Amino acid sequence: MNTTNKETSGYKTAFKSTAVFGGVQICTILLNVIKTKVVALLMGTVGFGIISIYNTITNLIHTTTNLGLQSSAVRDLSIAYTENNQDVLAGKHKAIMRWVYVCSVGGALLTFLFANQLSIAFFENVDYVRDIRLLSIVVFCMGVYNANYAYLQGIRKIKDMANATVYGAVATLLLSLPLYYFYKIDGIVWSLIIGAVATMIIGCFYTAKHKLPAIRQSWRESYKLGRGTIQLGIAMSIGSISVLLVQFIIKTFIARHGGVSDVGLYQAGWAINASYLGMVFTAIAKDYFPRLSSVYQDNSKLSVMVNEQSEISVLILAPLIVCMVVFIEPIIRILYSADFLSIIEMTKWLLIGSIIKAGSFGISYIFLAKGDKKMYLFNELGVKLITIPSYLLGYKIWGLSGIGYAYTFVYCVFFLWVSLVSWLRYRIKYNSKYWRLFIIELLLLLLYPLSQEIFGQSYIISVIIMVAILLFSFYEFQKRIDIISVIKRVFYGKK
């Protein structure tokens, strides 16, 4: 019995954290949908556009000046927490927070000082200088909130992380709606400020629950303690910026060769994949990264954790993907309109390719957990050299559908590459149990486009494939975490 518990505990941990943060992501998406709908009704496309630009400005400056601290801090705090030494954890936390405050103040100053240039760059006039200067408050609050969130993530306080995210989103919505209603466009900047301040306060509240001992630390010591965190953070920032650059190049190419309409269609298809499947990837990363970081020196434990999390990821994603693929046409009609049905083929392959992405996702976090910033950057920037020509060539030959084909191809290459590098560098690899699960789920998913080519659009065959994946995934879930008992506890309170 004890052996069984040990064998399944890792799966239960992976599933529990993914389920919790998956629920959080769903709540956040629903709240954002309400907010977006209200903005659309009260202010139309102009208000929606202004909010989008303001968010772009704050995110761009925050990402550039924060030096990736909100991500890299998770690793170092998790390692310090695992050592079970409160003084070490307090010292690391204090050093990181000092770096965060300096970076956040710097970001706020840049926003304030360059408001004139930002207004001209984004609006082609200086009418928005005052509002952009006010956004400096948002930039500062974002830095502090993300640092507090990173602390909770590093010490793996899942419940507090979930509460901070949900309550922050609820507070932002409730405080924003009156401003939108009474002040319309003039209330946009104040809604962003009040929302940022509210979420920062909520983050500080949940962080304060986990008090650390007071320590004396000079600024020189803070610099030395935080330097390693900054170096990894910069590497992660470069990786994030490279993603934005790739998207910019692809959208520019599509706009020049297919027109702005194709850019809109591309964005619509990409959003379905990124928003709904991305929800799962985000949920996985919240607890997976700190757990990996806590055992980064033990390759055998790392290997077990990578395999367990990746198996759970496949079992969650495969049913979700097949349901979305089978019902992609009504999904597009509901989310958009019949004018967007031309993205079906592209979106279908973006979704199928995401199960391959999950495989590379599980392995690629090893490099971050080990703080191997050079290899992480080599992998991330190296794959971009394949991504750009693949996407551009795919679009040139097959149109938007080619983007979907290219996405799947790129992740096949990336998956094989990071698997090979992980094995050669650390002797960490996926075991036969994972490969069996992955290959069966992937082949079942590929039956869908294959059946369409042979038999045409047949909902009977599609439903058969969908049911097969659902039953197989349920069966494999049951072997790992006894999903029937989980369902009974949720609905009937039975053990």
Residues 283-327: pLDDT tens digits? 777 778 888 888 888 899 999 999 998 998 899 899 999 999 999
pLDDT band, residue 282 (cuts 50/70/90): confident
Residue 71 has pLDDT above 80, yes or no: no
pLDDT band, residue 8 (cuts 50/70/90): low
Residues 96-142: pLDDT tens digits? 889 989 999 999 999 999 999 988 887 878 888 999 999 999 999 99
Q: What is the pLDDT of residue 1?
A: 39
- Indicate the average pLDDT of the chain: 86
Q: What is the pLDDT of residue 27?
A: 85
Residue 36 has pLDDT above 90, yes or no: no
At a CB cut-off of 8 Å and minimum separation 6, what does 188 contact? Answer: 43, 47, 50, 51, 54, 131, 179, 180
Radius of gyration from C-alpha coordinates of the chain = 23
What are the sequence ranges of the domains in the chain? Answer: 14-217, 234-495
Residues 317-369: pLDDT tens digits? 999 999 999 999 998 888 777 888 899 999 999 999 999 999 998 899 899 88
Query: For residues 368 and 76, is the Cβ–Cβ distance under 8 A?
Result: no
Residue 3 has pLDDT above 60, yes or no: no
Locate 216 and state its tokens: 């004396």
Q: How far apart are CA 148 and CA 207, in angstroms?
A: 6
- For the segment 452-478, the average pLDDT, to the nearest whole number, is 88
pLDDT band, residue 395 (cuts 50/70/90): very high
Is pLDDT larger for residue 206 or for residue 495? Answer: 206
Q: What is the pLDDT of residue 144?
A: 92
Q: How far apart are CA 101 and CA 111, in angstroms?
A: 15
Q: What is the pLDDT of residue 427?
A: 92
Q: What is the pTM of this model?
A: 0.78
Query: For residues 140 and 105, is the Cβ–Cβ distance under 8 A?
Result: yes
Residue 2 has pLDDT above 60, yes or no: no
Is pLDDT larger for residue 336 or for residue 474? Answer: 474
Residues 204-252: pLDDT tens digits? 999 988 888 888 888 888 888 888 788 888 888 888 778 878 887 888 8
Q: What is the pLDDT of residue 492?
A: 57
Locate 217 and state its tokens: 């630390």
